Amino acid sequence: MKNIIPFGPQHPVLPEPIHLSLTLEDEIVIEAVPALGYVHRGLEKLADIRDFNQMIQVCERVCGICSMIHALCYCQGLEDMMKVEVPERAKFLRTIWSEIHRMHSHLLWLGLYADSFGLESLFMQFWKIRERIMDINEVTTGSRVIVSVNIIGGVRRDISAEQIRWILGELKIVEKEFIALQETMNNEYTVKKRTVGIGYLSKELAHSLGAAGAVLRGSGISQDMRQLKYAALSHLDFEPIVEYGGDCYSRGLVRFREVLQSIDLVRQAVDKLPDTEISVKVKGNPEGEVINRVEQPRGECLYYLKGNGTKFLDRVRIRTPTFANVPPLAHILPGADLASVPVIVLSIDPCISCTER
């Protein structure tokens, strides 16, 4: 017997509105059709009435979770277009903040993911650790979530030596508490039972469906936009993290290890932090076309910008990582149990406000 079950948009396990029409045969999903549009705002169009400096604030609000990295991508694109050389210290500060953002996003996801298979205490633990990261954000930039530090030509704020010492101390505690959860998250029998082999995506499929980020790396393809060496990453040791399982467990493992990697990257960046200006003055208006890509917590993010010599940009096109991961999701849901659907949906780390903009 076939049943069609609507999943969402207001659903207890989902913090965000996405709608899936699940066609079920008994308890097995045989077709999943996503329906979007509950968060659509059309903010790319705001480029017509907001000038290129004001657009930074709009880009930050594409998605609250990776706000800083959105602004980073936009600013890097425009700097590229206007041929601005950003001071070294600004590049390092950008890297530090973007890695802190990645940690906060991954910890958030790990918590929600734990909640999706019913381990609520683990959810609480991850979010407890995350509060320390939020404190770092608040102390260094003045805001917990939407970190408005990027401007065209550099950054707005500096981190003092005293703050750096404090950040390193906090990171030490974060690392210790985080590693203490490793055993539960990665080796616990009940967790493995819910995640290993669930939502399998093969390497070939991940490639042909154009997946991004942890979904791609969890399927054994070593691709991370940080390999492009943007900002200060050219000075830092970096290897993309790859897992070969292709299931929910592997995707979780990739993100788990990336938190530790981010802590390491922040430490490296702090060590090498040069002593220069933090921003340069920018003159003129952008003209031309440019594409810039960065790695967000959820994967590859692409900005296409087109300027026409006035202060309003012709086109701002934002391709966000979840947008690329929705087709793989529609592909891995068929064959799964209805009870596994929340786990699989969360395993791609959906960010719907990114997807629809």
CB nearer to another protein: give 75 or 122: 122
Q: In what order do the strands lie in the sheet with 19-25?
A: 2-7, 19-25, 28-35
Residue 156 sits in the site that holds another protein (CB under 8 A): no
CB nearer to another protein: give 77 or 153: 77
Contacts from 56-64 at CB under 8 Å and sequence distance 24+? 56/148, 56/150, 56/151, 56/152, 57/148, 59/316, 59/318, 60/146, 60/147, 60/148, 61/146, 62/318, 62/320, 62/353, 62/354, 62/357, 63/320, 63/351, 63/353, 63/354, 64/145, 64/146, 64/353
The residues pairing with 317 across neighbouring beta strands, listed in sequence order, are 304
Residue 323 sits in the site that holds another protein (CB under 8 A): yes
Residue 312 sits in the site that holds another protein (CB under 8 A): no
Q: How far is the CB of 255 from another protein (least distance, A)?
A: 16
Tell which one of 297, 328, 332, 344 touches another protein (CB under 8 A). Answer: 328
CB nearer to another protein: give 257 or 331: 331
Tell which one of 21, 23, 30, 46 touches another protein (CB under 8 A). Answer: 46
DSSP H or E run through 2: strand 2-7
Q: How far is the CB of 43 from another protein (least distance, A)?
A: 5
Task: Mark 236-275 with x for binding to another protein (rule: CB under 8 A) and - for no binding.
Answer: ----------------------------------------
End-to-end Cα spacing for the chain: 38
| Residue count (the chain) | 357
Tell which one of 16, 88, 175, 337 touches another protein (CB under 8 A). Answer: 16
If you compute the radius of gyration of the chain from its CA atoms, what whole number of angstroms results? 20
Q: How far is the CB of 152 from another protein (least distance, A)?
A: 18
Tell which one of 25, 26, 27, 40 touches another protein (CB under 8 A). Answer: 40
Interface of this chain with another protein, residues 67 to 96, rule: CB under 8 A: 67
Residue 37 sits in the site that holds another protein (CB under 8 A): yes
Tell which one of 223, 238, 280, 311 touches another protein (CB under 8 A). Answer: 223
Residues 296, 66: Cα–Cα separation, whole Å = 7
Structure tokens given for 296: 């967000």
Q: How far is the CB of 78 from another protein (least distance, A)?
A: 15
Task: Mark 97-116 with x for binding to another protein (rule: CB under 8 A) and - for no binding.
Answer: -----------x--x-----
Residue 64 sits in the site that holds another protein (CB under 8 A): yes
Residues 147, 60: Cα–Cα separation, whole Å = 8
